[in-house]
Amino acid sequence: MRINSTEVLGQAIRARRKGLGYSQQQMADYCGCGTRFISDLENGKETIQFGKALGVASMLGLDLSIDVRGGTRPNARMLC
């Protein structure tokens, strides 16, 4: 799955959580954060704390990776 927005990341987190049968409260407890953070993350809120988001993904057994697009140098359109 290509993660290109906070919405796509949130959808992936929600799908994995539900697939494992965890509630948002259980995830918040496991990750040491609040249910509000889990909800904001799953709903694609753009101002989430990235470190916490990575922690939640890790607790769900998800890895994120970064790949260079097509091996080309970025131009102004690619940076935004």
> What percentage of the chain reaches a pLDDT higher than 90?
68
Three-state SS annotation for the chain: CCCCCHHHHHHHHHHHHHHHCCCHHHHHHHHCCCHHHHHHHHCCCCCCCHHHHHHHHHHCCCCCCCCCCCCCCCCCCCCC
Is 66 in contact with 41 (CB distance < 8 Å)?
no
Is 20 in contact with 60 (CB distance < 8 Å)?
yes
- For 66-78, what is each residue's pLDDT tens digit? 777 776 665 555 4
> What's the rounded mean pLDDT across residues 40-44?
96
More confident position, 72 or 20: 20
User: Is the predicted pLDDT of residue 6 greater than 70, yes or no?
Assistant: yes
> What's the rounded mean pLDDT across residues 11-28?
95
What does the longest C-alpha to C-alpha distance in the chain come to?
Answer: 43
Is 22 in contact with 42 (CB distance < 8 Å)?
no
User: Is the predicted pLDDT of residue 41 greater than 80, yes or no?
Assistant: yes
